[in-house]
Structure 1
Amino acid sequence: MEPINQRKLDHINIVSEGGAIDRRQTYFDRIHLTHRALPELNLADVDSSCQFLGKDLSFPLLISSMTGGADKELVKINRNLAIAAEAEGVALAIGSQRVFLSDDAARASFELREHAPNALLLGNLGAVQLNYDLGLADCKAAVKVLDADGLYLHLNPLQEAVQPEGDTDFSSLLNKIAEIVRSLKKPVIIKEVGAGISSRDVEHLLAAGIKYIDVAGSGGTSWSMVESKRSDNPSLGELFKDWGIPTPVALRQMKPYRHEVELIASGGIRNGIDMVKSIIFGASLCGVARPFLNPARESAEAVQVAIRRLKREFTTAMFLLGAGCINDIKGREELVLNEYWN
């Protein structure tokens, strides 16, 4: 098996096994919202629908990047996620596609449009690979195989730094990102993978033409811990397990830039209340990954059950805030009880 494929399987198995790699810092739980005892709404009339990149969504959920590769298990996971995303009207971002660029057997795990003809689908490549063997042609290939609506370029310096086979040359990367933005003819979304994006980063990314950012902050799966479990010397990954900007903090730091960039929140979002809080802090979409992994290993129907549970939680929270539609909560930080959050 190709080394990248084996690494993908390692990641999936480690994350599936449980809590040691999930930070469980409950940053979102520290935020309390203003309950409306008199919401003046019928719960059945709450409209959770939204749009992103021109696609209609039933609520602002993005099944966030997980995997892809040549192994039958990885193909199954992505297909189940795609089928469920189509059926439930939510978005799907796939795991890094670098593997199919070197191993054509991995292509099937990314040929998902037939399973999700109408869904919002996002491709994914590691930005650091632009300093190694990837270029514009590879980005176009990643978009083409998925028939993607946009492309994630993920930034993961911590993960690469602790990964046994990590690529750590992040120098002079901004100009290469800017070239992809200018030339790809599809929206490019920058994301972290669990350590957050700072306001200083945003200023550089805006100058490079980026208009979409997934803050992907700390609070959920720690990829530093995941990599520590693959290492002969796990102490480095364990030391940095809680490194990063918590997702709610990263979102609040984005407030001055909300008129220039559209935000996705991910990192530690585990229920519909967390999603509502993210929208209140300016996000347009909320990325959730780990809660869908084991259902995706089972069936598309199991993923759909998990999606419906999140949607019910999300619409219930909207109802209890007296919000009839997404615009009633998006960016509405006055809904936060400030005495519990600073």
Structure 2
Amino acid sequence: MNEQERAGERLLPEVATGERKLEHVRLCLEENVAGEGITNGMERYTFRHNPLPELNFDEVSLDTLFFGKRVRTPLLISSMTGGSKTTGAINERLARVANARGWALGVGSIRAAVEQPDLATTFDVRRWAPDIPVIANLGAVQLNYGFSTADFQRAVEIAGADVLVLHLNGLQEIFQPEGNTDFSGLLNRIEDLCRTMDVPVGVKEVGWGIDGITAQRLYEAGAAFIDVAGAGGTSWVQVEKYRNNNPVRRAAAEAFADWGIPTAECIREVRALNPEGVLIGSGGLQNGVDAAKALALGADLAGFGRSLLESAVASDEALDGRLEQVEFELRTVMFGIGAGQIEELQQTTRLIERR
């Protein structure tokens, strides 16, 4: 044992992408990786109760449209994992349960499978989810590190996806031991990719939010949708803090615990500047009331990530129960304000800012 190990420091060698994804899951389950001193902003809003909703609760419908396709819920399991045997099993469970309940499904970054084809089965969710929208996922920064249109197309094929999302994760890459930190010139490369892919291409953050102006630039560049993935949930700086053996960066991570734009603020800004753009609201959502607020603020879908992870690891029954609860909470909000359809929720005047 060397001096650093005796001092209790954890030394992390370069690891394969798939192994890194497994470690990410472990850290999200076992460590405090939430941002500190910042919330998703949903607590700033409340629904004004309608004592006479004139609805039959059993007829409140969650059906909605996503890229012109009728789906059973306006809910999304956000990109989380894949790339190893264990995380592949999690993806399989997510896909089975999402398909049964009618949730859209995003997979974690498929970079591992593009680089190591033997990992492709861990992202092959379409065989378990034939009926729901599936979103493939790769880091936008890979456009600066040798990934071609063919690589992004391969990611779509691996997942059997309907659409592709490019994630923006600049701060994570800075604190990640293996990080790719050249984000220069990405907008033009994103635009080129949007124009050449065979499927719609969207852009998401990973937990620090997308503001209205940036979303406008991305829509103008050809992005088919934006997923704001705002602050208030997982902080990937805090996740990578546990993996980084650089003492300066581990200490510096604490200064960024409250970094980001709250999810509610992102949704409101993006929708105000881009009234026609397809918009996903995610980032720290915990329940169906949060989902209802996201939809009423302007989102087309509401996405859930780490708040589902524990159930996803546990069992099909646990995950199914968790999703059922979110749906029940969302339908109850709709009944409580007199909105029988998702479109009515999105147009409600009963979401108000707290005084």
Q: Which category of TM-score, normalised to the shorter sequence, fits these structures?
A: over 0.9
Name the CA distance, whole Å, in 2 between partners of 1:286 and 1:326: 12
- The aligned residue for residue 154 of structure 1 is 167
Is 1:5 the counterpart of 2:18 in the alignment?
yes
So what's the TM-score if we normalise by structure 2?
0.91
Number of equivalenced pairs = 338
Report if the CA contact (8 A) 2:271-2:277 is conserved.
no
Name the CA distance, whole Å, in 2 between partners of 1:152 and 1:300: 26
Is 1:273 the counterpart of 2:286 in the alignment?
no
Is 1:320 the counterpart of 2:311 in the alignment?
no
Name the CA distance, whole Å, in 1 between partners of 2:175 and 2:243: 10
**Counterpart amino acid of residue 302 in structure 2:** C
Shift of 1:139: 0.8
Name the CA distance, whole Å, in 2 between partners of 1:339 and 1:191: 28
Show the 5 A alignment for 1:137-176. 137-176=150-189
SS of the residue corresponding to residue 37 of structure 1 reads: coil
Structure 1 gaps of 5+ residues are: none
- The aligned residue for residue 66 of structure 1 is 80
SS of the residue corresponding to residue 180 of structure 2 reads: coil
Shift of 1:304: 1.3
Q: Percent identity?
A: 41
So what's the TM-score if we normalise by structure 1?
0.95
Report if the CA contact (8 A) 1:194-1:221 is conserved.
yes
**Counterpart amino acid of residue 77 in structure 1:** I
Show the 5 A alignment for 1:130-279. 130-232=143-245, 233=247, 234-279=250-295
Q: Which range is displaced more, 32-41 or 214-223? A: 32-41
Shift of 1:22: 5.2
Name the CA distance, whole Å, in 2 between partners of 1:195 and 1:237: 14
- The aligned residue for residue 62 of structure 2 is 48
Is 1:290 the counterpart of 2:303 in the alignment?
no
Name the CA distance, whole Å, in 1 between partners of 2:271 and 2:85: 43
Structure 2 gaps of 5+ residues are: 1-13
Q: C-alpha deviations, 1:295-336, integer Å up to 9, x for none?
A: 22222232211111100010001110111101111143x322
Which protein is bigger by CA-based radius of gyration? 2
User: Which residue, 317, 320, 338 being the options, matches 2:353?
Assistant: 338
Q: C-alpha deviations, 1:19-50, integer Å up to 9, x for none?
A: 44354725212211111111111111111111
Shift of 1:255: 2.9
SS of the residue corresponding to residue 47 of structure 2 reads: coil
* RMSD, matched Cα: 1.6
Name the CA distance, whole Å, in 1 between partners of 2:69 and 2:329: 22
**Counterpart amino acid of residue 149 in structure 2:** L
SS of the residue corresponding to residue 310 of structure 2 reads: helix
SS of the residue corresponding to residue 95 of structure 1 reads: coil
SS of the residue corresponding to residue 32 of structure 1 reads: strand
